[in-house]
Structure 1
Amino acid sequence: MLEQQLIQLIFLLLLILGGLWLSIGYSLLRRRYRVKRKKQLKEQVIQYVSINYTKSLPISKFVVPHWLQGYIKKSRDLRDVANIIINIKDFFITDRDTWSFLFATDVTVAKELKADIKSNNWYKKSRAIWISYELDIDQNLDLIAKLNSHKHILVRREAQIALVRFLGWKSLRILPYVKFPISLWQQIRIVEKLHQYYPKFDDTFFKKAIQAESPSSRELCLRIIRRFHVQNYNWYAIQELFSEHKYVANMALELLDELSFDEDDLKLLGQHYQAYKLRANNVVLDQKLTPLLQANN
């Protein structure tokens, strides 16, 4: 009786072990198949783009080839195709308005992304938003706009960058209402997206942006002033130079060398500096401002 139970136990263990090995083998084969498939897909996409949409050829019509439609109708494959296009678009496509030809005119892609944006999974949400703004798919902009204050940092970060990509300077209106800090990486991305797609400084919406009280939003405004070489907001840079928030003050200090001050600016700077010295001491600031103010006395 005991021997029979032992044999049954051994048989069960062997069965479980065999099942595990089969599962591992299947996973490895599937992974190998996916890697091979992704490699083939990348080669096909690059070849198709290089033949039909290189910088030396005029674009006559945006066409999604049949072999590619089969890929982008599946969520996982859509992600793979999107990653490939995003990685190669700057090398092949004629200009920034045409490299999204594989996606922007395809309703299927927008529907797939819409489903992910509505998902409760934060990773799916953020990835779908990222694909949307990198490939100029703006059909789901209304949904994305509602996520700019999402509780998850990646979702709201991508949503805010997407708003900048699609709305440009108009998107800066939300800065006074941003509830969470804007990370350094995100600030840099926002400034670069503005400069890349909306290179003309828009004073109308920037006036609303500088009303923000959040330290990270103010730091972002200083970065915008620096990147776009704006000279009519010297007073703002001077004001933030004496901010109680270290990162804001440091950003203003970096900006100082790039600004041209007139007599009124220097007078304002001197007033702020004298008031600041009564409550604090900053050796770096003293070394920077003292020669500047003395030279203009």
Structure 2
Amino acid sequence: MAKPVEADVVLSCSERLPTVDVWLVIDVLRATTVIVRWFELGGRELYPTDSPDAARRLAHDLEQEGQKPLLMGEENAIAPQGFNLGNSPLDLTRELATAHACAVMATTNGTKALLRAAETGVPVFAVCIRNALSALGCALSRGSRIGLLCSGRKGRPAWDDTLCAGLLLSLLQRQHPGLRLADSARLALLTWQSSRNDLRASLSGADHAVFLDRVGYGADIAFACIPDASEAVPELHESPDGDGMRAVLRRVPSDAMGPRLRAAPPLSEPAPVGPPRTERAPAAPNRFASLLQYAKSDADHLFLGGNRHKKSGRTRL
């Protein structure tokens, strides 16, 4: 008898990691979206690191070994000094991906989350909205206890990553109606259910999305919002590095990806055909609406203790 499928969600990297069979690491804005794009365009390997300095050292070592790495990433959303590229998926091209034997990457949250998941010793995949279906198929081929690690922001949960986790759970629940959810997974699923009718609008309201838009990366948000746009699934491996090991991402071969999950049906219903139907009574109010209203509010308000408060004139990053 097959084991029941279970799912747990870690809402930020500062939390303790539970025991699972496989990790899906999420950083929608923007690390895992960029990583998936790298492999989608033909990239062969990508080395995640935990800091810009570590990335520079590794890129130098790889050059000494005869490779030609592409150094990319961000620090406060901007490419660090000496990096070839920042952290925008739209800056990657097929020419760049094929011209470089590998890439080395450092970001504030996403690459650190990948390395933390790798410490648990179970399979680790990079996932975003664009490759959600394919990544879930890979995860299910490795075990029944699925862990979703949200990178978060500044050591706290991030709306964008939690929203993506909820999307993944909704797809998983469609395939496995008896899916067992930990409490944090229920919170992520509730986040998705409150936003699924307008994913882009909801994601655009996240703190980090607002910041990215202010500094000129609004197009990255729209790019990150397209579901089922890629079948590329990067998996973390280890390669020798002197007396130690390096973490390296490689694309999962198509014959090792496991069964593909069903896509969700369109969210909008088709126009009715024939005579109009009898009007239904108004739906009962959503009892969670007051808890979630802060996430849908405009950028001029903060959520504090269950109430909306007008921001001061100070810019919030």
> TM-score interval w.r.t. the shorter chain?
under 0.3
> Whose radius of gyration is greater, 1 or 2?
1
Q: Of Structure 1 and Structure 2, which has the larger fraction of its residues in helix?
A: 1
Q: Of Structure 1 and Structure 2, which has the larger fraction of its residues in strand?
A: 2
| TM superposition score normalised by structure 2 | 0.25
Query: Which structure exhibits the higher relative contact order, with contacts defined as CA atoms closer than 8 Å and separated by 6 or more residues?
Result: 2
| TM superposition score normalised by structure 1 | 0.26
